[in-house]
Each structure stands twice: as structure tokens, then as C-alpha cells.
Amino acid sequence: MPKPDSHILELWVRDPERLPADVRAKVARRVARYPEWREAADFWRRYYEELRNVDDEEAADGADDLLK
């Protein structure tokens, strides 16, 4: 089993269009097949979901401040 490539997985989750189609397909197969790849991809998904939540909260707080 190939070791998960954290950089490629992060890019695959964050901005998959930056990867060539054959690389995207290979990563998708490995994520489906290998638990270690799936766990790493899930980590990056959670990471970016948290960032979106923080950005949304900060935007809402900023809008509230403007209304005061």
C-alpha cells in the first residue's frame, strides 16, 4: 500500500482542479481503497470545514458590529 501523500491529498480536497485528471483519479481510487488515505482526506475535509465555519462566524460578527 502506498503511503498517503499529505500535500497531494490536501490539494485534492482544497482545489482538485489544480491536479491533472489522472492524478485526481488515482487519488480518488486510493481514498476509496485505503483507510489511511481516507483518514487523511477526511482530516483535510474537516480542516477546511472548520476554516469555513470560522470565516462565516467572523463575517457574521463583523456584520453585527456594523449594525451597532
According to the model, what pLDDT value does residue 64 have? Answer: 56
Residue 1: inside a domain: no
pTM, two decimals, is: 0.76
**The three cell numbers locating residue 27:** 487519488
Residue 16 lies in a domain: yes
So what's the pLDDT on residue 21? 98
Query: Which of these ranges, 7-11, 44-48, 52-56, has the smallest mean pLDDT?
Result: 52-56
**Which one is predicted more confidently, 24 or 65?**
24
36 found inside a domain: yes
User: Which structural domain, as residue segments, surrounds residue 21?
Assistant: 6-67
15: in domain: yes
The number of distinct structural domains making up the chain is 1
